[in-house]
Amino acid sequence: MWWGLRRALNHILGDRMEGRISGQALDKLADTYVGRPTVGFARDSPDRNSASSFGSGTLVRYGSIAGILTCAHVVTAVMKQKVIGLLCNGGSETQNQGIKIECSALRSVVLRGDCDEEDGPDLGFFMLPAHTMNTMEALSSAIDLGQQRDRHDQRVTAKTYMEAAAGMIGEWTSEPEVGPIITKVTFTSFLMGGEISPLDARGGYDRLLFTPGRIDNLPKSFEGMSGGGIWYLGLNGSEESGYAVEERRLMGIAYYQTADRRIVGHGRDSLYKRLLPMIEAMQ
């Protein structure tokens, strides 16, 4: 199976909303700082004539540990497979961007509760073998989780910023293109602007709500985005001079879709104070 990946960038319509900024001029910045660390999970069909999306994640490094942040229900589903595909998000759309790995080679940790799905907790992490991580970084990029943790308690200061969520969209997976030698399936990575707002904590785990912007071509469902990152990009510059990214923060991990198509995620306290100690223990 030959796997390609198409990137779809969508932002809030209109120039500004309470400091948030969006537009086509920022597509490249968003793709570089948010799109490239975003990865997807995929699996072949039993007859190997098709493939399906299996969730999303964020490629990270933390000291000597390297792997993928995601949510617990994605980890559980992946580990039931024998082989899983990892979709990178930085290479050319004309090249194979899927890396297959035996699930027995993956180490994982999960934080998952017995409450309703919307309440959580629902966080997970895959530790990748060194050679797999090196291959993925050649096609995409990883964020430094230690740097993100160190900024956890620091206030954001940028007056102009973007908030976004990223991940794979299952319903946008292409039909297989069967060739004489290979079968090609194309997945779509979706990066959308929106607004982050706090939700009440449940069971000691903080939560946030991501509301998509006024986007015409939203998918019918965000299935496939589970485990993807929810981001803040602080910007400096102007429309006249252009913008640069002053600060990038991973604000949370998506794990649930509401009935009105908003995304619930765990926030930074859950990520850095609850999940990160479990990742540290994997060394």
Under a CB-based contact definition with an 8 Å cutoff, are residues 149 and 162 in contact?
no
- The model's pLDDT over 252-264, given as tens digits with 9 standing for 90+, comes to 999 999 999 999 9
Calculate the alpha carbon distances from 109 to 72, 132, 195, 207, 217 in Å. 8, 18, 29, 20, 35
| CA proximity to 199, closest of 269, 259, 149 | 269
Domain boundaries, the chain: 2-280
**Average of per-residue pLDDT values in the chain:** 85
| CA proximity to 191, closest of 229, 161, 237 | 229
Residue type, 108: S
Four-residue CA torsion sign, 24, 239, 155, 37: positive
Give the predicted TM-score (pTM) of the model.
Answer: 0.90
As a whole number of angstroms, the distance between CA 159 and CA 204 comes to 31
As a whole number of angstroms, the distance between CA 103 and CA 37 comes to 21
| CA proximity to 87, closest of 106, 107, 101 | 101
| Exposure string over 152-166, b if 16+ CB within 10 A, otherwise e | eeeeeeeebbbbbbb
Residue type, 7: R
| CA proximity to 268, closest of 230, 226, 215 | 230
- The model's pLDDT over 69-107, given as tens digits with 9 standing for 90+, comes to 999 999 999 999 999 989 887 666 556 677 889 999 999
> So what's the pLDDT on residue 20?
53
